[in-house]
Amino acid sequence: MQEVLKYIAENRDTYIEELKDFLRIPSISTLEENKKDIHQCAEFVADKLKSAGLNRVEIFQTEGHPIVYGEWLGAPGKPTVLIYGHYDVQPVDPINLWDNPPFDPIIKDNKIYARGATDDKGQLYVHIKSVEALIKTFGSLPINVKFLIEGEEEIGSDHLEDFINSHLDLLKCDSVLVSDTSMYDEGVPTITYGLRGLAYMEVEITGPNKDLHSGSFGGAVANPINVLAGMIAKLHDKNNRVTIPGFYNDVQKLTKEERENFNKLRFSDKKISKSLNVAELNGEKGFTTLEKLWARPTLDCNGIWGGFIGKGAKTVIPSIATAKISMRLVPNQNPEKIAKQFTKYIKLLAPKSVKVKVSDLHGGWPYITPLNNPATVAAASALQKSFGKKTVFIREGGSIPIVTVFSRKLKAPTVLMGLGLNSENAHSPNEHFNLDHFSTGIKASAYFMEEYVK
Amino acid sequence: MQEVLKYIAENRDTYIEELKDFLRIPSISTLEENKKDIHQCAEFVADKLKSAGLNRVEIFQTEGHPIVYGEWLGAPGKPTVLIYGHYDVQPVDPINLWDNPPFDPIIKDNKIYARGATDDKGQLYVHIKSVEALIKTFGSLPINVKFLIEGEEEIGSDHLEDFINSHLDLLKCDSVLVSDTSMYDEGVPTITYGLRGLAYMEVEITGPNKDLHSGSFGGAVANPINVLAGMIAKLHDKNNRVTIPGFYNDVQKLTKEERENFNKLRFSDKKISKSLNVAELNGEKGFTTLEKLWARPTLDCNGIWGGFIGKGAKTVIPSIATAKISMRLVPNQNPEKIAKQFTKYIKLLAPKSVKVKVSDLHGGWPYITPLNNPATVAAASALQKSFGKKTVFIREGGSIPIVTVFSRKLKAPTVLMGLGLNSENAHSPNEHFNLDHFSTGIKASAYFMEEYVK
């Protein structure tokens, strides 16, 4: 391994320059106007897989954004790992809060700043470079490797499941390796064994059939904004529990051991509230912050709009008010069932004076990884060797819906070897990625392939 | 009068062409980018006053938008009426709901469609044309006339009060005549004797110091949108009464006679809910719709925004959520006192986990006109003669804050001789003005000057 580690160390600057090129492509998957960039980004990934030494690389078109596939299968009899990642990124608004243009990466304090730096381009690139380093050094890999890199993760991976279903042989593997989660803390090697799911809804309230003058009609007509606010308010009770009937029915209770493990991590509410500049944290009564984030379902408004939102005063009663409302789900909640429960309840909350339209924008299942499978054991060991510290096992509040598809369709466990940090502003202005985690991650990925065949 | 009426009838088409020119100027007072149009519009009004035959016309610059003044004082010993109006208009959003461009006036079914058609360019222009008709016909007016036409009515008339204070002699008058209200129904001559006031606030809720990933933080951090929704929900009780402590303290109760007069107008809830396509009307329990609209204070959200408001799904907990919230006030509520009560209460409603910023965007006093003053009597008679029907006396749910300034500073009662209709989409897409009301209004205005000296 010394040779590989040396090769990785020597090429650090080149890797960073390449990552910058990757980050310069504004591959925002949710916006129509970035469609060309999405295609360019898929080409970029395919080129890099080719130059890493894979012996088959292909871009598959879908009804949505393209999927990039690559493979090196020169180790017959050895296990096969499928490395999954995504080249698409979140939108950049509010753009005015970025210190630097989001698609013009810069390095400050050993961190690279750009949209997609940590989610997921930087983390994904780690594995492309480790494969390259091993192939360039030894001419081969110790295991078989497949890459599956999609462009729709940030919009629900709508076409990936179909692709997997129709390419089960191509994607056959013993385990899936993903770096798209966070480390527990800087420099602390981490494997995430649980993910939350998601049910993301949009609720549109229509009152009068046109915008009205609030002088002429105010006081006699139900105002869609006030109505919507009242409905949203009713979605939580005074203990901050979600009030949707049946919402908690399928929630898997935390074991005593899990609660103890979480407590051992000595999570500091004070530190986090200070870093977010809030007077106190919040949430469901009766649970610690880590329990709330990792093992309890939630409901949050992700967007709301209606009426006059410009500068100044316009005395209008709007015709329409809209909110985006999403729920984070935990094992064993079912996103489809939750979406139905939500739809039924929100309609029930609406007064007769308005019309309600509910759209199910997307959903993802929650997930738990078995801890004793060989890939997880290899990853924990590889992380420990490269970072020089004991690997911790945590859960994660976010969703990677596709992980549950790997489990169901490929019958393969997923190892979440996250290299990001919660403080790296994924989905927010000034997203960045720690370059030490980038370099050490490349080493960890190379170690993983070694450890997997030990 | 026959000669004047004939002159008015003969010039109807010219008047409409001139009104179109007036409506083509996008004099939106709240938007910085329309500043040039505002100035052009003031020039337009001044030119028309000059060509009407006034012997002094002047544009006064203010720290805001210009004020146009005009006078004809050739009737010494006779009363002086000050005709007030505004040449500024509301913004046009949502622009996609207009059937025709808002500043490209067209006539359909004897109605002229454009932003400002009824509020207030069309109504204001009536008086310029009646003065012109009288002067062109007789070479003089039966009374003294002053015009005071401002460009900031839609944004709170911020600089008009100062202007009045510093020009008390210039503006000295016996009464004020305003056409900026609605008729009770098509063809029904109407004088409005009460106006609601306004307190318009903006509430900004800040939670975390940046937008957060709802997966990483959802369930542990107070979400500013959910918090704001909860606060808005608490502003009304289950009977739709406003919950701000002291809010109703100064409300002047309706007399038995007023309630009876309102009932005589046979207002149809069914007709209005059908026209707005709502299943039912709404509002404070225990009052009829006309009572709610004309004599009860209200609270409405005029705008709300926060988080991701684009197409698709973004799983964000926003840092900031904002609402514009305004209250319509009735005699004898005090907008400054109400703004203070609102500010205190809304801050009280906020949990510790967020910061609240409240801005008082503007306020206006409610108003009641004495019914027995000579100008009101003359206006009622003039309307009856021109429209051929008995004049009704109503109140109005909207605000003309400046009317209270005329009362306090000029010691003059204001006669609200409205020529618009509630159905004419003031402040909404497809604003329009009935051209019969326009022509008959010009006659009524000419009659008024005659009647005033009888």
Q: Give the model confidence (pLDDT) of B187-239 as tens digits.
A: 999 999 899 999 999 999 999 999 999 988 999 999 999 999 999 999 999 99
Provide the sign of the torsion angle of the four alpha carbons A361, A122, A68, A43, taken in this order.
positive
Name the helix (H) or strand (E) containing B275: helix B269-276
Q: Which of B37, B71, B88, B451 is catalytic?
A: B88
In a domain, B258, yes or no: no
Q: Which of B32, B271, B333, B427 is best to mutate for the A interface (most A CBs within 10 A)?
A: B427
- Chain A environment of B219 (Cβ under 8 Å): 283-284, 292-293, 296-298, 300, 328, 397
Q: How far apart are CA A115 and CA A200, in angstroms?
A: 22
- What pLDDT, on a 0 to 100 scale, did the predictor assign at position A76? 96
- What pLDDT, on a 0 to 100 scale, did the predictor assign at position A358? 98
**Tokens, residue B52:** 């009407």
Domain identity same for A120 and A168: yes
Q: Which of B111, B45, B102 is nearest to B437 (CA)?
A: B111
Check A315 against B326: CB less than 8 A apart: yes
Decide if A255 contacts B261 (C-beta within 8 A).
Answer: no
In a domain, A278, yes or no: no
- Chain B environment of A403 (Cβ under 8 Å): none
Check A211 against B429: CB less than 8 A apart: yes
Chain B, residues 248-277, CB within 8 A of chain A, namely 272, 276-277
Name the helix (H) or strand (E) containing B404: helix B402-405
Domain containing residue A358: CATH number: 3.30.70.360
**Tokens, residue B446:** 């000419």
Q: How far apart are CA B146 and CA B133, in angstroms?
A: 16
- What pLDDT, on a 0 to 100 scale, did the predictor assign at position A261? 81
Domain identity same for A360 and A370: no
- What pLDDT, on a 0 to 100 scale, did the predictor assign at position B389? 94
Domain identity same for B43 and B7: yes
Check A328 against B90: CB less than 8 A apart: no
Of A324, A345, A364, the residue at which a domain comes to its end is A364
Q: How far lies B270's CA from each of B83, B274, B366, in Å?
A: 37, 6, 28
Domain identity same for A37 and A120: yes
Mean pLDDT within A274-280: 95
- What pLDDT, on a 0 to 100 scale, did the predictor assign at position B120? 97
Distance from CA of A402 to the nearest CA of B (A): 15
Of B331, B363, B395, the residue at which a domain comes to its end is B363
Query: Is A107 in CB contact (< 8 Å) with chain B?
Result: no
Q: Which are the catalytic amino acids of A? A: 88, 153
- What pLDDT, on a 0 to 100 scale, did the predictor assign at position B1? 86
Check A233 against B228: CB less than 8 A apart: no
- What pLDDT, on a 0 to 100 scale, did the predictor assign at position B257? 79
Q: Which of B450, B449, B375, B380 is nearest to B418 (CA)?
A: B380
Chain A, residues 376-395, CB within 8 A of chain B, namely none
- Tell me which residue in A230, A236, A428 faces B211 most closely, judged by beta carbons: A428
- Chain A environment of B292 (Cβ under 8 Å): 219-220
In a domain, A152, yes or no: yes
Check B301 against A198: CB less than 8 A apart: no
Residues B202-214, buried b or exposed e (16+ Cβ, 10 A)?
bbbbbbbebbbbb
Chain A, residues 343-382, CB within 8 A of chain B, namely 351-354, 361-362
- Tell me which residue in B182, B212, B289 faces A220 most closely, judged by beta carbons: B289
Q: How far apart are CA A377 and CA A385, in angstroms?
A: 12
- What pLDDT, on a 0 to 100 scale, did the predictor assign at position B286? 96
**Using one digit for the tens of pLDDT, what is the confidence trace for A191-208?**
998 999 999 999 999 999
Q: Is the pLDDT of residue A336 over 90?
A: yes
Q: Which of A194, A141, A114, A140 is nearest to A376 (CA)?
A: A194
Residues A259-274, buried b or exposed e (16+ Cβ, 10 A)?
bebbeeeebeeeebbe
What ranges make up the beta strands (E) of B330-421? 355-364, 367-368, 392-396, 414-416
Bridge partners (DSSP) of residue A192 are A394, A416
- What pLDDT, on a 0 to 100 scale, did the predictor assign at position A133? 98
Domain identity same for A190 and A228: no
Specify the 3-state DSSP secondary structure of B26.
coil
pLDDT band at A281; cut points 50, 70, 90: very high
Q: How far apart are CA A283 and CA B108, in angstroms?
A: 56
HSE-up of residue A275 (Cα within 13 Å, Cβ side): 13
HSE-up of residue B179 (Cα within 13 Å, Cβ side): 30
Burial label for B413, CB within 10 Å (0-12, 13-18, 19+), is buried
- What pLDDT, on a 0 to 100 scale, did the predictor assign at position B71? 98
Domain identity same for B353 and B370: no
Q: How far lies B376's CA from each of B81, B262, B337, B448, in Å?
A: 12, 19, 31, 9
Q: Is the pLDDT of residue B4 over 80?
A: yes
**Using one digit for the tens of pLDDT, what is the confidence trace for A6-23?**
999 999 999 999 999 999
Q: How far apart are CA B37 and CA B121, in angstroms?
A: 14
Q: How far apart are CA A429 and CA A447, in angstroms?
A: 33
- What pLDDT, on a 0 to 100 scale, did the predictor assign at position A421? 95
**Using one digit for the tens of pLDDT, what is the confidence trace for B51-103?**
999 999 999 999 999 999 999 999 999 999 999 999 999 999 999 999 999 99
In a domain, A280, yes or no: no
Q: Which of A144, A155, A153, A125 is nearest to A49 (CA)?
A: A125
Is position B153 annotated as part of the catalytic site?
yes
- Tell me which residue in A353, A361, A429 faces B282 most closely, judged by beta carbons: A353
Can you give the three-state secondary structure of chain A, one letter per residue?
A: CHHHHHHHHHCHHHHHHHHHHHHCCCCECCCHHHHHHHHHHHHHHHHHHHHHCCCEEEEECCCCCCEEEEEECCCCCCCEEEEEEECCECCCCCHHHCCCCCCCCEEECCEEECCCHHHHHHHHHHHHHHHHHHHHHHCCCCCEEEEEEECCHHHCCCCHHHHHHHCHHHHCCCEEEECCCECCCCCCCEEEEEECEEEEEEEEEECCCCCEEHHHHCCCCCCHHHHHHHHHHCCECCCCCECCCCCCCCCCCCCHHHHHHHHHCCCCHHHHHHHHCCCCCCCCCCCCHHHHHHHCCCCEEEEEEEECCCCCCCCEECCEEEEEEEEEECCCCCHHHHHHHHHHHHHHHCCCCCEEEEEEEEEECCEECCCCCHHHHHHHHHHHHHHCCCCEEEEECCCCCHHHHHHHHHCCCEEECCCECHHHCCCCCCCEEEHHHHHHHHHHHHHHHHHHCC
- What pLDDT, on a 0 to 100 scale, did the predictor assign at position A351? 96
Mean residue pLDDT of chain B comes to 95
Domain identity same for B161 and B230: no
Bridge partners (DSSP) of residue A395 are A194
Distance from CA of A156 to the nearest CA of B (A): 9
Q: How far lies B121's CA from each of A104, A169, B135, B424, in Å?
A: 50, 72, 21, 13
Chain A, residues 296-325, CB within 8 A of chain B, namely 296-318, 321-324
Q: How far apart are CA A407 and CA A396, in angstroms?
A: 18
Provide the sign of the torsion angle of the four alpha carbons A106, A108, A110, A114, taken in this order.
negative
- Chain B environment of A97 (Cβ under 8 Å): 210-211
Check A302 against B315: CB less than 8 A apart: yes
In a domain, A274, yes or no: no
Of A364, A391, A409, the residue at which a domain comes to its end is A364
Domain identity same for A429 and A345: no
**Using one digit for the tens of pLDDT, what is the confidence trace for B253-312?**
988 878 988 898 989 999 999 999 999 999 999 999 999 999 999 999 999 999 999 999
Helix and strand counts by DSSP (H, E) for chain B: 15, 18
Decide if A119 contacts A54 (C-beta within 8 A).
Answer: no
Domain identity same for A360 and A374: no
The owner of tokens 């998957």 is A29
Distance from CA of B385 to the nearest CA of A (A): 27
In a domain, B269, yes or no: no
The packing angle between helices A435-452 and A2-10, to 10°, is 150
- Chain A environment of B309 (Cβ under 8 Å): 303-305, 322, 324
Q: How far apart are CA A360 and CA A339, in angstroms?
A: 7
Check A229 against B226: CB less than 8 A apart: no
Q: How long, in residues, is chain A?
A: 454
Check A302 against B321: CB less than 8 A apart: no
Closest-approach residue (CA) in chain A for B205 = A278
pLDDT band at B425; cut points 50, 70, 90: very high
Domain identity same for A73 and A210: no
Domain containing residue B446: CATH number: 3.40.630.10
Decide if B218 contacts A397 (C-beta within 8 A).
Answer: yes
- What pLDDT, on a 0 to 100 scale, did the predictor assign at position A398? 85
Q: How far apart are CA A159 and CA A170, in angstroms?
A: 16
Q: How far apart are CA A326 and CA B314, in angstroms?
A: 9
Decide if A201 contacts A362 (C-beta within 8 A).
Answer: no
Torsion of Cα atoms, B60 then B64 then B65 then B71, to 10° = -30
Query: Is B397 in CB contact (< 8 Å) with chain A?
Result: yes
- Chain B environment of A351 (Cβ under 8 Å): 282
Mean pLDDT within A319-339: 97
- Tell me which residue in B208, B301, B312 faces A307 most closely, judged by beta carbons: B301
Domain identity same for B13 and B119: yes
Question: What does the DSSP assignment read for B109-146?
Answer: TTEEESTTIIIIIHHHHHHHHHHHHHHHHHSS-SSEEE
- What pLDDT, on a 0 to 100 scale, did the predictor assign at position A411? 94
In a domain, B60, yes or no: yes
Q: Is the pLDDT of residue B414 over 80?
A: yes
Check A426 against B216: CB less than 8 A apart: yes
Residues near A345 by Cβ (< 8 Å), separated by ≥ 6?
A: A243, A244, A245
**Using one digit for the tens of pLDDT, what is the confidence trace for B94-145?**
999 999 999 999 999 999 999 999 999 999 999 999 999 999 999 999 999 9
Domain identity same for A79 and A104: yes
Q: How far lies B344's CA from each of A88, A421, B304, in Å?
A: 46, 40, 20
Chain A, residues 108-127, CB within 8 A of chain B, namely none
Q: Which of A199, A140, A159, A163 is nearest to A333 (CA)?
A: A199
Q: Which of B59, B40, B71, B51 is nearest to B147 (CA)?
A: B71
Q: Which one-letter DSSP state was computed for residue B7?
A: H
Q: Is the pLDDT of residue A396 over 90?
A: no
pLDDT band at A342; cut points 50, 70, 90: very high
- What pLDDT, on a 0 to 100 scale, did the predictor assign at position B422? 86
Q: Which of A340, A318, A314 is nearest to A327 (CA)?
A: A340
In a domain, A277, yes or no: no
- Chain B environment of A207 (Cβ under 8 Å): 276, 278
Amino acid at B100: N
Q: How far apart are CA B383 and CA B415, in angstroms?
A: 12
**Using one digit for the tens of pLDDT, what is the confidence trace for A236-245?**
999 999 999 9
In terms of phi and psi (left: phi > 0; alpha: psi -120 to 50; beta: otherwise), the region of A425 is left
- Chain A environment of B97 (Cβ under 8 Å): 210-211
Decide if A150 contacts A180 (C-beta within 8 A).
Answer: no
pLDDT band at B370; cut points 50, 70, 90: confident
Q: Which of B424, B433, B404 is nearest to B157 (CA)?
A: B404
Domain that holds residue A101: 2-195+366-452
Count of domains for chain A: 2
Q: Is the pLDDT of residue B401 over 80?
A: no
**Tokens, residue A285:** 């009564």
Closest-approach residue (CA) in chain B for A201 = B313
The owner of tokens 């949209």 is A115
Decide if B123 contacts B418 (C-beta within 8 A).
Answer: yes
- What pLDDT, on a 0 to 100 scale, did the predictor assign at position B50? 98
Q: Which of B37, B132, B153, B431 is catalytic?
A: B153
**Using one digit for the tens of pLDDT, what is the confidence trace for A78-93?**
999 999 999 999 999 9
Mean residue pLDDT of chain A comes to 95
